[in-house]
Amino acid sequence: MSDSNSGQIDNVMQEDRLFPPAASFSEKAVIKSMDDYQQLYDRVKADPEAYWEAEAKSELHWFEPFDSVLQKDGIDVRWFDGGKTNICYNCIDRNIDAGHGDQDAIIWEGEPGDTRTLTYNQLHHEVCKFANVLKGLGVGQGDVVSIYMPMTPEIAIAMLACVRIGAIHSVIFAGFSAEAIADRNNDASAKVQLTADGLWRRGKIIPLKQTVDAALEKSPTVEHCIVLKRVENDCDMTNGRDHWWHDLTSEASDDCPATPLDSEATSFILYTSGSTGKPKGIRHTTAGYNLWAKKTFQWVFDWRPDDIYWCTADCGWITGHSYIVYGPLAAGATMLMYEGAPNFPAEDRFWDLVEKYKVSILYTAPTAIRAFVKWGDQHIDKHDLSSLRLLGTVGEGINPDTWIWYHEKIGGGRCPIVDTWWQTETGGIMMSPLPGAIPTKPGSCTKPLPGVVPKIVDESLEPVGVNQGGMLCIAEPWPGMLRGIWGDEERFKEQYWSTVPGCYLTGDNARLDDDGYYWIMGRIDDVINVSGHRLSTIEVESAMVSHPNVAECAAVGRPHDIKGQAIAVFITLKDVEASDAIRDELKLHVRKEIGALAVPDDIRFCEAVPKTRSGKIMRRLLRDIAAGREAAGDTSTLEDFSVLAKLRGDED
Ligand code: PRX
């Protein structure tokens, strides 16, 4: 975790470039200057309850008013207790009530080029029908609905229909394997599964229903499966269990009033990697989450009514939840949603979409930006990107040079970049430039949003000095914070609240510079970030070891130009010699166990995996080795790390 004895992390990054917002941008911005930001930040910090009370009253619809703003009993935090509201109502009905029913909510384009647009009225119609479909299958308040679907408007409709009736959705990224779906379904006791006959990815059909069929064999709690027809792909339909989406919705009524729900009712769970390999269902609730998603969307994206906003994430991740569905819709935005790959039919697809729909705000991931850099400027030069006024990034740190490229090539030098730091657990953005107010520094997420009180401490829990890295914690509750890990309160306490008393432990390291800017330095633990997706080493290792010829496995991340990190695994074999054939077989095995995301780029065979005396794998050593020898070279070489391990000493 740390290179020095004090537990602090050395700062090795020097970045002095500063980009103040253009005066023309600041004039029209929601928050116009550093002074405005600082005043708001200080006001919220001094009296958070007064601030959030007023915001909750003005920004959300209440079926019943709340009795208290914030109640805190140890790690049990309740926002707006006693009140009743509904996220779906706030995202749709409230905008219709305000006269925006005919405004476009979702402009969608499929990978093959087909398009659909849904106004707020049309979205209301579709969501109500589908909510009635769910009710018709016996889904009620507190039941879990598992969603494994393509990025079509129906995934948003499904999520909104769940929260409309108080059902809890668990969206599983449509690239995960049957095993991963079954694990999550079982952990959540999911009652209904939603999927599709397939999805389009780089011109090919990915048969989702087949994967779901395998998952449902091992998901005994799932009673029904609803299948959307997206690609006209044949699929087996099990009588009594499986139903076509269009059959059920064609008969459903569109009259479905939103259920008034407790502020603290669970709205959704979203699984994320943990260090033990068991998937961790992050639990979010209703009023606080809704308010946080909406406010942060308005602040960070400086949203204005004529914007066309595009977040390129997938609804399978938290970014899709908060900044495709709940934040933008609660704010009454018009958004673009795209189904497919950025390089289909060619590497200019994103820029084609920006030009075609006159996108003004683009929110994407550093891994995508690195791919664009690699694919070459000729794909960008073909298109008119002058509609863009603001750019954002999320998911991992962005290298300053990539930031500069994004700023100049995509933003034409005129668009501020919001580098947004946050997590599945935080529900919404925690640190980010406010684009009209805070000058940016490439690679820094700059400042905490109002209501966020960060603290950086070393291993002895002492605050670190300026420019020294340490563990990033959040010292005060905020409305969007996670409320638990589904079915595992002990783990919730242990993982987030026990290391630094009274503070939420983010699991990231960070440093504060001379100007009070924050720089995220990566995970404290060993999670590997492939293309912006967090995978835990232990999940990859466990999948490997489940192969009969694998005795032991250590997985680490190594730098990768496009993906950010690639997975390198070190394996000791049993009953078989090292060969290309076994390497290929292991890759296939991981693909089956976890999904394509987790397939290692490097598989190296070794006599023994180096360990500390207490039995922990020496990942730091392996990381150095994985990074230093990019070409894996001879596949049959068995490496012996024992000498190296002895040289480095134990790392307990
Ligand atoms: O390590 C941080 C990194 O991604 C982690 C959260 O991952 P996840 O829960 O999957 O959510 C991703 C979308 C919010 C963080 O703990 N991370 C995310 N954004 C940034 C980042 N690291 C550096 N800079 C960022 N802007």
Residue 262 lies in a domain: no
Distance from the alpha carbon of residue 302 to the mean position of ligand 1, in angstroms: 21
pLDDT of residue 8: 54
> Is the N-terminal amide bond of 207 cis, ω within 30° of 0?
no
CATH code, 538: 3.30.300.30
What would the mean pLDDT of 8-36 be, rounded to a whole number?
Answer: 83
Higher pLDDT, 652 or 99: 99
Candidates 176, 283, 317, 421: which one to mutate for ligand 1, based on the most atoms within 8 Å of Cβ? Answer: 421
Distance from the alpha carbon of residue 506 to the mean position of ligand 1, in angstroms: 10
- What is the C-alpha separation between 601 and 614, in angstroms, rounded? 29
Geometric angle at alpha carbon 471, from 46 and 417, rounded to 5°: 70
97 Cβ neighbours under 8 A, 6+ residues apart: none
C-alpha separations of 223 from 43, 146, 163, 193 in Å: 50, 11, 20, 8
pLDDT band at 63; cut points 50, 70, 90: very high
Ligand 1 nearest-atom number relative to CA 522: 1
Ligand 1 nearest-atom number relative to CA 424: 9
In the structure, which protein residues have their CB atom closer than 6 angstroms to any atom of ligand 1?
272, 318-319, 394-397, 419-424, 445, 506-508, 520, 523, 534
- Residue at 287: amino acid letter: A
Residue 617 lies in a domain: yes
- What is the C-alpha separation between 490 and 506, in angstroms, rounded? 17
pLDDT single digits (tens) 546-600: 898 988 888 899 999 888 899 999 998 888 999 999 999 999 999 888 888 889 9
Find tokens 């502020």 and name the residue: 263
What would the mean pLDDT of 168-195 be, rounded to a whole number?
Answer: 95
- What is the C-alpha separation between 90 and 83, in angstroms, rounded? 14
pLDDT of residue 572: 86
Ligand 1 nearest-atom number relative to CA 313: 13
pLDDT single digits (tens) 29-48: 999 999 999 999 999 999 99
pLDDT of residue 94: 98
Distance from the alpha carbon of residue 423 to the mean position of ligand 1, in angstroms: 5
Atom 7 in ligand 1: residue holding the nearest Cα: 423
Atom 5 in ligand 1: residue holding the nearest Cα: 423
What would the mean pLDDT of 492-503 be, rounded to a whole number?
Answer: 95
Q: Judging by beta carbons within 10 Å of its beta carbon (0-12, 13-18, 19+), is residue 81 exposed, middle or buried?
A: middle
Residue 128 lies in a domain: no
Q: Model pTM?
A: 0.86
pLDDT of residue 584: 95
Residue 103 lies in a domain: no
Ligand 1 nearest-atom number relative to CA 431: 26
Residue 331 lies in a domain: no
Whether the predicted pLDDT of 323 surpasses 80: yes
What would the mean pLDDT of 427-448 be, rounded to a whole number?
Answer: 97
pLDDT of residue 274: 53
Q: What is the dihedral of CA 157, 158, 162, 168, to 10 degrees?
A: -140
Distance from the alpha carbon of residue 350 to the mean position of ligand 1, in angstroms: 23
pLDDT of residue 651: 35
With contact defined as beta carbons under 8 Å apart, do 567 and 528 qualify? yes
Whether the predicted pLDDT of 222 surpasses 90: yes
Residue 551 lies in a domain: yes
Residue 6 lies in a domain: no
DSSP label of 462: P
pLDDT of residue 647: 46
pLDDT band at 401; cut points 50, 70, 90: confident
Distance from the alpha carbon of residue 282 to the mean position of ligand 1, in angstroms: 15
- What is the C-alpha separation between 481 and 484, in angstroms, rounded? 9
Candidates 13, 312, 394, 471: which one to mutate for ligand 1, based on the most atoms within 8 Å of Cβ? Answer: 394
pLDDT band at 397; cut points 50, 70, 90: confident
Whether the predicted pLDDT of 640 surpasses 70: no
pLDDT single digits (tens) 599-626: 999 999 988 777 655 455 677 788 888 8
pLDDT band at 543; cut points 50, 70, 90: confident
Give the chain's domain count.
1
Distance from the alpha carbon of residue 522 to the mean position of ligand 1, in angstroms: 9
What would the mean pLDDT of 283-305 be, rounded to a whole number?
Answer: 98
Atom 11 in ligand 1: residue holding the nearest Cα: 423
What does the block give as tokens for 604? Answer: 């190296």
Structural domain boundaries, residue 549: 527-648
Higher pLDDT, 81 or 511: 81
Helices (H) and strands (E) in the chain, counts: 22, 31
With contact defined as beta carbons under 8 Å apart, do 68 and 81 qualify? yes
Chain centroid to Cα 309, Å, comes to 18
Atom 13 in ligand 1: residue holding the nearest Cα: 395
Chain centroid to Cα 497, Å, comes to 21
C-alpha separations of 390 from 187, 305, 319, 349, 414 in Å: 40, 14, 17, 19, 8
Residue 469 lies in a domain: no
pLDDT of residue 279: 80
Percent of the chain with pLDDT strictly greater than 70: 91
Atom 21 in ligand 1: residue holding the nearest Cα: 396
Candidates 292, 297, 363, 423: which one to mutate for ligand 1, based on the most atoms within 8 Å of Cβ? Answer: 423
- What is the C-alpha separation between 208 and 147, in angstroms, rounded? 11
Other CB atoms within a 10 A radius of the CB of residue 587 amount to 17
* Averaged pLDDT of the chain: 91
352 Cβ neighbours under 8 A, 6+ residues apart: 383
Whether the predicted pLDDT of 474 surpasses 50: yes
DSSP label of 42: H
Percent of the chain with pLDDT strictly greater than 90: 74
